Amino acid sequence: MAVRPSFFAELKRRNVLRAGVLYAGTVWAFGQGLSQFSPAIGLPDWATRWFLIAACIGFPFWIAFAWFYEFTPQGLKRESEIAPDDSIAHSTGRRLDKWIIAVLVVAVVLLLTNTFVWRKGAGLASNSALASAPAKSIAVLPFEDLSPGHDHGYFSAGMAEELLNALARVQDLKVAGRASSFYYGSRNADLRTIGKALDVSNVLEGSVRSQGDEVRISVQLIRTGDGFEVWSQSYDGDMRNIFDLQERIARAITEHLQVVLTGSQQARLVPVATTSADAYADFVTAQTLVNKRVGDSLPRAIALLQKATTLDPKFARAWAKLAVAYAVLPQYVAGDWNASWKISNDAAQRALALDPDDAEAYAALSYNQFSQRHYTDMVAPMQRALELAPDNSAVNYWAANELAAMGRTRDAEARIDVALANDPANTLLLFYKSMLRWRQGDQAGALAYIHRGGVTDSPFGALMLEFYDAARGDMAGSAREFANSTSWMGTKISLVDLQTIYRGTFGGAAQRQAALKTLAAHLDDDWAPTMLLQLGESARSFDLFEHGHSGLSDGYFNWLWQPESWSRKARQDPA
């Protein structure tokens, strides 16, 4: 009678043990790679965790599969259907040994890369980032609107931004940028994710309940590492003493973070910007709308800011914000560039007459000079803006915008990197970083930045995906992305006509002629000179831009530095 092999011997014969080791090694290697590269490809932080959970669930099914089935030259068969003499389990085992060695080598390489390269600066933030975040650092999340009608959302967000701005002026306190803080706050991200992404040890959460002139602001200071609530407090007042409420909150935060105040900040952290409660309420709401840019946000913001400056003509910050709104208005809402430039310049000068150190007003003056193609005159006001607010995301963005348009790609990217260090999820900054990477031939890097911070869901993301789709040969997708992005940028051209025009960029002679015929009916559009560039009509494009009415300097000059053939042709055109 033949001796029946032991269970362990049968596991070895059927290569179940080898299959288990191969499965574990593959999961380890894939998990290492997923945890290292998921930020670069836009995967959420929980992707690795759920992969490991799924792998654990799948392990017993894999073992059962290895027990009951065997690979044969004739394909996959149940082990019970194979005669012992026909089994090739031994040779299969040798192949599995090779696969195990290969997978383990990959896993070890990834582990060493993560230990000695990725965590020393080549990669994105790791789990150790929370431990290295400065103790005196904070992100201010958008405040919840608890008003009876829940119709004061913009005001509530604006109150959070006001506190953020006050704290950002405190020396030795790192404050994450507004766009990044609000991005993570609006998505209910967990505290560890926020701390890791923004490199902060604390977050400030809060709510605003306003009814009439009465206001209640409730705030909680929470550690990102363990979720411990360091401090919480509610403050009651009205719009007439709103600056005193903000002062008490900001001072309490600096005390709990043990920040030593110096100079004028010892006396006051939050300056009294206006004596009009109604003007301030309108300003706070308008500030959030200006940041939003698209849709009807800018016209609504302008109406509120005009009201605020009427209520208090000495409200410098409202004048500066009005200058910013008018500076970009025609770019997002079709309008008269000359009229917008004049109103913007007048508002900026009013702001500077009241507050000579208003960085936003200087930045608006510079952008207006840039839009009017006064490239020498734009330099001094931007330099002054950067001197006054070297860490301000908006100022750095506009400075990089001007540098990039002049072809100073590396200088522009360095300026963007400075701003991203403090505001890593800012949509505009990420868009520009992606564009500059694309300009330098780094397609993978460009795509990685577009997949951060929700950029892909914005018109700016669609603009960059247009180039990526075209490079992959997906012309239909590229045309859709072009039409979708451009439609948000102030053009009056229909989506159908935009796609027709774009197809002429990469299509044959017939499509190019159809595109030129369609564009001929829209030569008064701000984007027409740029579209002529893409269609290879360099001389006509230069003439239309030089003698036309468009102030879209950044939307034109940046296209001259693209790596695409139509852009290279334009750069080489003697005209």
pLDDT of residue 93: 56
Among 389, 420, 440, residue at a domain's last position: 389
- Report which DSSP code applies to 143: P
Query: Distance between CA atoms of 136 and 132, rounded to whole angstroms?
Result: 11
Boundary (domain end) residue, out of 84, 99, 120: 120
What's the pLDDT score for residue 71? 58
Residue 437 lies in a domain: no
Q: Domain for residue 433, yes or no?
A: no
Calpha distance 181→163 (Å, rounded) = 12
Alpha-carbon span 544 to 142, nearest angstrom: 44
Same structural domain, 144 and 258: yes
- Asked, for residue 452, whether it belongs to a domain, the answer is no
How many degrees, rounded to 5, is the angle at CA 42 between CA 40 and CA 45? Answer: 95
What is the mean predicted confidence (pLDDT) over 543-558?
87
In whole angstroms, what is the distance from residue 428 CA to residue 430 CA? 6
Q: Given a cut of 70, is residue 95 above it in pLDDT?
A: no
Is the pLDDT assigned to residue 416 strictly greater than 60?
A: yes
Measured distance CA(462)–CA(435) in Å, rounded: 12
First to last CA, the chain: 97
Angle at 45 between CA 40 and CA 47, to 5 degrees: 95
In a shared domain, residues 252 and 137 = yes
The pTM (predicted TM-score) of the whole model is: 0.70
Q: How many domains does the chain have?
A: 4
* Mean pLDDT for the stretch of residues 228-238: 86
Picking from 521, 478, 529, the residue whose alpha carbon sits closest to that of residue 503 is: 478
Q: Evaluate whether residue 447 is within a structural domain.
A: no
Q: Is residue 419 part of a domain?
A: no
Is the per-residue pLDDT at 410 higher than 90? Answer: yes
CA distance 331 to 67: 66
Q: pLDDT: is 277 or 561 the higher one?
A: 561
Q: Report the CATH number at residue 173.
A: 3.40.50.10070
Cα-Cα-Cα-Cα torsion 280, 173, 231, 180, nearest 10 degrees, comes to 70
Statement to judge: residues 473 and 575 lie in one domain: yes
Q: How confident is the model at residue 351 (pLDDT cuts 50, 70, 90)?
A: very high
Q: Are residues 254 and 216 in the same domain?
A: yes
pLDDT band at 531 (very low <50, low <70, confident <90, very high): very high
How far apart, in Å, are the Cα atoms of 253 and each of 31, 220, 340?
39, 10, 40
Separation CA 216–CA 214 (nearest Å):
7
Same domain, 145 and 263: yes
Q: Do residue 225 and residue 282 come from a single domain?
A: no
Cβ neighbours for 50, distance < 8 A, ≥ 6 positions apart: none
pLDDT band at 299; cut points 50, 70, 90: very high
Cα separation, 476 vs 420, whole angstroms:
33
196 shares a domain with 76: no
Q: Is residue 190 part of a domain?
A: yes
Entry field: residues in the chain: 575
Give pLDDT, residue 433: 94
Residue 48 located in a structural domain: yes
pLDDT over 80 (residue 424): yes
pLDDT confidence of residue 121? 36
Report if residue 216 sits inside a domain: yes
Q: Can you give the residue range of the structural domain that contains 234?
A: 130-271
- Where does a domain end: 228, 249, 271? 271
Residues 264, 357, single domain; the answer is no
What's the pLDDT at 455?
84
Same domain, yes or no: 266 and 329? no
In this structure, the answer to whether residues 111 and 184 fall within a common structural domain is no
Tell me the average pLDDT across 152-158: 78
Considering the domain architecture, whether residues 241 and 371 belong to the same structural domain is answered as no
Residues 266 and 278 grouped into a single domain: no
